[in-house]
Amino acid sequence: MVFLVLLSITLITLDFRGDGGGIIDGLRDGASDALAPVRNVADDVLSPVGDGLQGVTGYGSLEDENASLRDRIAELEGDVLESEAAAEELDEALELLGVDFIGDIPTVAARVVAAPVSNFEQTIELDRGRDDGIEVDMPVVSGAGLVGRVVQVSGSRAVVRLVTDPGSSVGIRFVTSNEVGVAEGEGADRELSVGFVEVGVELRRRELAVTSGLNDSVFPAGIPVGRVTSAETATGELQQDVSIRPAADLDHLRFVRVLLRTRSSASAAPSTTTSTTATTATTATTVAP
């Protein structure tokens, strides 16, 4: 190794002085061939270092590029989600326009701007109010069925009590059996309980229940309320324990219609509560709110 280094110095000196002619050229070529393995080893050893330095200097640029790509992906995903949400809203609005169970009752379309804040009070807020003709006790529906009724109203807002609210009750009629009863709310994500259904009345699973419209109810007759999920009779009881699942998807409401209809104050009947006595069970057709 030392010899090769000394030889290289000698050749450089002679080449600089212009001595040696072709001899120097031959020796230079020979030295180059002799030193080639040494250079190869050095390149192999130093190459990772060079690559590492290049990677360090280019890391910032790569990180910026990745960040830009991530932002673009997020933007595209957002566009897709917005498109899906817009499509769902359009479908819901079209479904609402196509409701036929409200007949010729005038309505006001409204957007839901606030959902229930707790499981104890099931209410929603609408972006329409007194300025749009909405009053307390007006029924509210979705494209699938009954949502609830207005319980509070201001100039531009209205609060609706959902049928699932524990303070809600509505007179119903089962379409197949023609039996009537009173459906009451039991809270969020729970089915409605139905009172005043006599023992011996056969109710089919998924039988549709609609508003009865009896006794000048705030709810006109024929609005879908829900479908039967269970009907049982306990020993010694004089009425069945019936549950129905709400027809309207109350967890995903975005658009509703308010029926501009109120019960006549002259013929309004006071609200009643569910009773388990035989006396109230036999008067079910006269107490539906």
Which is it for strands 107-114 and 123-126: parallel, antiparallel or unpaired?
Answer: antiparallel
Helix axes 2-17, 22-97, angle to 10 degrees: 110
Structural contact between residues 227 and 64, judged by C-beta atoms closer than 8 angstroms: no
Dihedral sign for Cα atoms in the order 279, 281, 284, 289: positive
Q: What is the distance between the alpha carbons of residues 210 and 192, in angstroms, rounded to a whole number?
A: 13
Average pLDDT over the chain, rounded to an integer:
75
| Residue 115's pLDDT band (cuts 50, 70, 90) | confident
Q: What one-character DSSP code corresponds to residue 239?
A: B
Of 86-90, 107-111, 175-179, minimum mean pLDDT range: 86-90
Structural contact between residues 268 and 229, judged by C-beta atoms closer than 8 angstroms: no
Q: What is the pTM of this model?
A: 0.62
Residue of 105, 146, 190 lying closest to 289 (CA atoms): 146
- Where along the chain do its domains lie? 1-97, 107-286
CATH number belonging to domain 107-286:
2.40.10.340
Of 7-16, 159-168, 274-283, minimum mean pLDDT range: 274-283
pLDDT: which is higher, 118 or 226: 226
Q: What is the distance between the alpha carbons of residues 128 and 113, in angstroms, rounded to a whole number?
A: 10
Dihedral sign for Cα atoms in the order 261, 267, 268, 273: negative
The pLDDT tens digits for 8-26 are: 555 555 554 555 555 555 5
Q: How many helices (H) and strands (E) does the chain have?
A: 3, 12
Q: What is the distance between the alpha carbons of residues 225 and 152, in angstroms, rounded to a whole number?
A: 22
Q: What is the mean pLDDT of residues 116-121?
A: 75
Measured in degrees and rounded to the nearest 5, phi and psi for residue 263 equal -75, 140
Measured in degrees and rounded to the nearest 5, phi and psi for residue 267 equal -115, 15
Q: What is the distance between the alpha carbons of residues 287 and 163, in angstroms, rounded to a whole number?
A: 18
Q: What is the mean pLDDT of residues 120-133?
A: 93
Structural contact between residues 147 and 178, judged by C-beta atoms closer than 8 angstroms: no
Structural contact between residues 162 and 120, judged by C-beta atoms closer than 8 angstroms: no
Residue of 278, 256, 288, 284 lying closest to 113 (CA atoms): 256
| Residue 226's pLDDT band (cuts 50, 70, 90) | very high
Residue of 232, 214, 210 lying closest to 223 (CA atoms): 210
The pLDDT tens digits for 19-63 are: 555 555 555 555 555 555 555 544 554 455 455 545 544 556 666
Measured in degrees and rounded to the nearest 5, phi and psi for residue 221 equal -70, 150
Dihedral sign for Cα atoms in the order 8, 14, 17, 19: negative
Structural contact between residues 261 and 139, judged by C-beta atoms closer than 8 angstroms: yes
